[in-house]
Chain A
């Protein structure tokens, strides 16, 4: 087995032998908790069942007035319980904080931690979001323009800042420390999970709470609308007739622990994170590099990091936004990295059912990938009756059994040319 290039470089620098290098860099990182909020509902079980059945989570938007928009539907969370906040006044919180909290509570519940014990474990908290509580910023600015600054509620501005939700979370659950909040557009959630994975693997932390979130708000919706990136049809990733993306909202949170730590407390493991890679296109602020070189670089780096041969990859949860440019670019990247397997490896984009969750996408899709490995089932890429031959991929158009699935990857790409790939192994698979 070949050590990743970056491990070899570090080992040479530190004068480590290969065994020491492996031991130092290779703590096993397991997933012990997961929580999801999407338009399919609150909770992993409900989401997974609806995803496997191929149901659509799109509905008419209610969080803002859609008059004047060509598109009036999104993957909006239908019922969002506000919950009981003990240490913060909940009435002042943005929708983003409530979404985040629900996913955190489920992740910690499934991992078997109580809030108090988790807080005392000094977890690393890494989150990803695109614009945090922008809805509160909109409301402040609207009041500011209509009534003047003296009549606008300034606390809304603090709730809109994209680090506030993380701070609220820490305050509510009495976690000490400062959450690190990545805001790398649509790759943010995957970046948070990837960096938490590295923190646990390297021994900087035994436990991490990580993931991403983004609520539905008019500012972001109008932004993608102005870029003409939203489809007026259904979202059809990798289909010949795809015409754009559909916005969703939600959060995905994972609890990562070192294998030893999880075993020590008798935790149930749901899967394993084995690799992470990232890169940048350095091409254009809002368009991906059509050659897919940056995306391919992230995928290669993740597989190298995981010490996984591309032929071992049994499923790819694609970024698959449904835009002409993204899907063509991602297909080129997958074919380039997977070589002869590129046209055979099963690929699906779950955005076809729940929409693009922006900062939440990478983490939610990471969880769906772990569930695919756990149940050995490929989630479908719906609305793709005519897979685009120029993409040249094997698209999973309906849920399928995957009896031998043991390694899968999840791709996330974002504005600014951010590319991130996570590699997962089925719990009990070959280490």
Chain B
């Protein structure tokens, strides 16, 4: 499986590999980690149809458009049914949800806008992506903690491997909301400033990232530019073992199973969520002496903690990093959440 396209809509920039690279670069001066205002029409030909949409949908549409533009697959005729979409979310369209509920509480059921409700449904970004690009294959939304992007990628790989589709657009999207940020602040689950240490949890971020994943042979047949191979995805929460131990065990198992030497791991993208210190320590302990030379990429200072979009932002940053080098190295993308779920995406290792 390979990644053939990348698109990012983040506080650090909007674009393809350039914007993905910026995620692990300079910290964003905008301390609220908000995506700058943009015109969807710059990224989508039929943008007029999508005038009344939530930010989470708007971000997803732009990111998917950029990723498809980078990958350039044929989406005509039968290919529409041979393409899938999987989007990961955590909070959904909180802005529209709270507006709908506020109208309901203040002025009663007659005043609540159906438009706000339709966009509050968690699969609104995925449904609108399908409409915008005419995709008629399986279109799914999965919900979870910061690890949900990895779960979305895992589902996409399953769909391709099972033969259900030839390629899949995988995205994560999240929008900032005052209510959500207030909750996390109240529960002391975000840092009060931009983070400088692994144990600090970044502020709530927003945006969307998308990648196009397909079978390597199919990508070669259509002469697509292969960005990087996807080795595997593991999502886990252990009810018996400590988080640090189980993440270490999984890294060792997976590298051994894939025949990947620890020294070929060039970088690790740090988690943005709760338990990031534990997960990071577990991974570096598992990598042993090789860990000294491994670069740590952190999207937190540039993008905050974008929850549902986190793992895809991290993946995009890793793809950009691996694409900028000349060696076929391996990158590990770590995610973790409040409920002690964690995920590891293994990227690279050849053909890059």
Contacts and interface: CB of A to CB of B under 8 A. Distances in A.
B102 to A, nearest CB: 7
Given A162-B122, A167-B339, A183-B142, A178 B147 contact: yes
B261 interface: no
Interface stretch (A334-342, A368-376, A412-420): A412-420
Interface residues of B, number: 72
B110 A416 contact: no
B116 to A, nearest CB: 8
Interface residues of A, number: 74
B279 interface: no
Contacts, number: 206
A418 B109 contact: no
A202 B162 contact: yes
Nearest to A5: B163
B323 to A, nearest CB: 26
Given A157-B183, A178-B237, A222-B109, A283 B137 contact: no
A163 B144 contact: yes
A281 interface: yes
B138 A416 contact: no
B145 interface: yes
Given A130-B121, A161-B91, A417-B131, A154 B147 contact: no
A35 to B, nearest CB: 22
Contacts of A140: 183
A137 B114 CA distance: 19
Contact of B139 (A223, A297, A416): A416
A346 B136 CA distance: 28
Tell which of B104, B108, B122 has the most Cβ of chain A within 10 Å: B122
A9 interface: yes
A163 B90 CA distance: 8
B140 A171 contact: no
Interface in B124-182: 124, 126-128, 130-131, 133-145, 147-148, 151, 155, 158, 161-164, 179-180, 182
B141 A182 contact: yes
Q: Looking at chain B's contact residues, is the secondary structure mostly helix, strand, loop, or mixed?
A: mixed
Contact of B235 (A137, A178, A219): A178
B143 A176 contact: no
B142 A145 contact: no
B151 A418 contact: no
B143 A154 contact: no
B318 interface: no
B136 A184 contact: no
Contact of A141 (B142, B144, B179, B215): B179
B127 A416 contact: yes
B341 interface: yes
Contacts of A145: 102, 105
Contacts of B109: 68-69, 222, 225-226
Nearest to B307: A161
A119 B215 CA distance: 34
Given A144-B179, A170-B237, A181-B144, A297 B127 contact: no
A68 B108 contact: yes
Contact of B122 (A9, A131, A176, A218): A131
B163 A6 contact: yes
B151 A180 contact: yes
B143 A150 contact: no
21 contacts: A68-B109, A138-B101, A150-B186, A154-B183, A154-B186, A162-B122, A176-B240, A182-B142, A195-B158, A198-B158, A219-B101, A219-B120, A279-B138, A280-B137, A285-B131, A294-B136, A297-B81, A415-B121, A416-B128, A417-B127, A417-B130
Given A141-B102, A228-B114, 5 more contacts: A183-B143, A184-B126, A219-B120, A226-B109, A280-B127
Interface of B: 80-81, 85, 89-91, 97-98, 100-102, 104-105, 108-110, 112-114, 117-124, 126-128, 130-131, 133-145, 147-148, 151, 155, 158, 161-164, 179-180, 182-183, 186-187, 215, 217, 235-240, 338-339, 341, 343
